[in-house]
Amino acid sequence: MSAPRQSRRSNRSILSETPAKRQIGSAANLDGYWQDGCGPAARHTSSEIPGDPMTSVPPSGTGGEPPNGPTPPGQQFPPPGSAYPPPSPGYQQPWATSYGGPGPQQPPPHWGPPVHQPGVVPLRPLTLGDMFGGALKTIRHNPKATVGMAMLVTFGFMLIPIIATIALGAADALPAMDPLATDSGSSTADIGPSVSSMVNLVFSLLAGIVVTGLIVRTVEQAVIGRPITAGEAWQQSRGRLLPLLGLVVVVFVGAVLVIGLPITVGVVLAVSVNTPVGVVIAVLGGLLGIVAAVFLYTRYVLLATPVLVLEKRGVFASMARAGQLSRRDFWRLFGIYLLASLATSIIGQVIAIPFAIVGVIGALALPPSWGFAALMLSSNVASVLTGGLLGPFTGGVLALQYMDQRFRKEGLDIELLNQTSRAGQ
């Protein structure tokens, strides 16, 4: 214990030194100062200096031991061993920043590199909020190139079932439907709504893929802060319509094979061999098929549409490229897209409620032969509206997922940063 005491200097000797000499001595003993203990409290005992040694030494002019020189007239210092008076009002501890504590009246430092954001999202790996916010900003800044184009494309796809419904209703080929009847008396009346919903869903999905392909180009320009009109977006994307339709066909055939084939095998076994075994195979095969379809869609189809439009690749080359970008990021891609789909689905159901009410009223007011047609037409119109309003949001999130994957794996954000910097200069 004697060696450390010999190396210590009293507060009186420290105060008697000049500032330059004190700074040199502090720098020379800095390593030993922190290694012997855990800061100032470990270097001094309570018998030598009461309290915290750093806060017990008052600065000049605040009381306590006087500095070198005579005591100013009228200034009183307490006797040794007594407590020091509090500092004068407005005094700031000059040593507060020398030992790690933040100094008074100093703003907290800003850590991290600066973020450059020329467009709707920052040029760095994106978060969920960045993607949702960027998709909404793209729609708000480019309403004609997003909502207007999505409305036209969705209407073009849904025009086929709308015309077919009107033609079948005029030919009295649709099953009669009375919403107030307790027994329809016809199997076609029971199957009709299910078939109509399935057809509506298929055409909505097809329209959604094409809408996403057209929205991708708008999002690409919005990321770097370049406005784009609906005509420009159409001119840049119309050459990719046939590949987009080819991707739609591949996805449809793949879904039928992955989901429908196990169910078909189970049904055949249930009819020809053993009913319980066939039912079990059909149910389990259908569930496994759905899981496999979700996995394959997320890995090889989810990002294929942006790749096909922006990189101008073929259908299968785009799917292979999508698998490369989505490797080891399945859950993040699936989770973000699932949240976006759930949000748009809930809002879509809210939008469709008034049209469903109109369809029921039409089915009650029109003759029975047109009741089913009224329900189908109201559902088709609701699909056009929801696809036009919500399709750009889902497509924008998907396009930003593609951008984010390239930001993380290929440094596209650095490339866009350099590009926008040169454009600004």
**What integer pLDDT is reported at residue 311 of this predicted model?**
92
Measured distance CA(354)–CA(349) in Å, rounded: 10
Phi, psi (deg, nearest 5) at residue 355:
-70, -35
d(CA 336, CA 4): 61
Q: Contact 401/337 with Cβ under 8 angstroms?
A: yes
pLDDT at 191: 55
Give pLDDT, residue 26.
Answer: 41
Q: What is the pLDDT of residue 36?
A: 42
pLDDT of residue 98: 44
Q: What is the pLDDT of residues 347-390, one digit of tens each?
A: 988 998 998 888 888 878 877 767 777 888 888 888 888 888 99
Lookup: tokens for 352: 């469709």
Q: What are the start-end ranges of the H helices in 73-148?
A: 128-141, 143
Q: Please, which residues have CB within 8 angstroms of residue 168's CB and are 6 or more apart in sequence? A: 174, 373
At residue 54, the pLDDT reads 45
| Nearest residue to 403 (alpha-carbon basis) of 226, 232, 223 | 223
**390 half-sphere exposure, CB direction, 13 A CA radius:** 21
pLDDT at 329: 93
Describe the crossing of helices 149-170 and 368-410 by its angle, rounded to 10 degrees.
150
* pLDDT for the residue numbered 72: 53
Residues in the chain where the model's pLDDT stays below 70 = 1-115, 172-197, 369, 423-425
Of 422, 394, 398, 410, the closest CA to residue 224 belongs to 422
- Supply 418's token pair: 């350099």
Q: Residues of 279-308 as b/e, b for ≥16 C-beta within 10 angstroms?
A: eebbeebbeebeeebeebbbbbbbbbbbbb
DSSP-derived secondary structure letter, 372: H
Residue 29, pLDDT score: 42
**pTM for this entry:** 0.66
Cβ atoms of residues 412 and 229 within 8 Å: no
Provide the pLDDT for residue 403: 94
How far, in Å, CA of 303 to CA of 408, rounded? 15
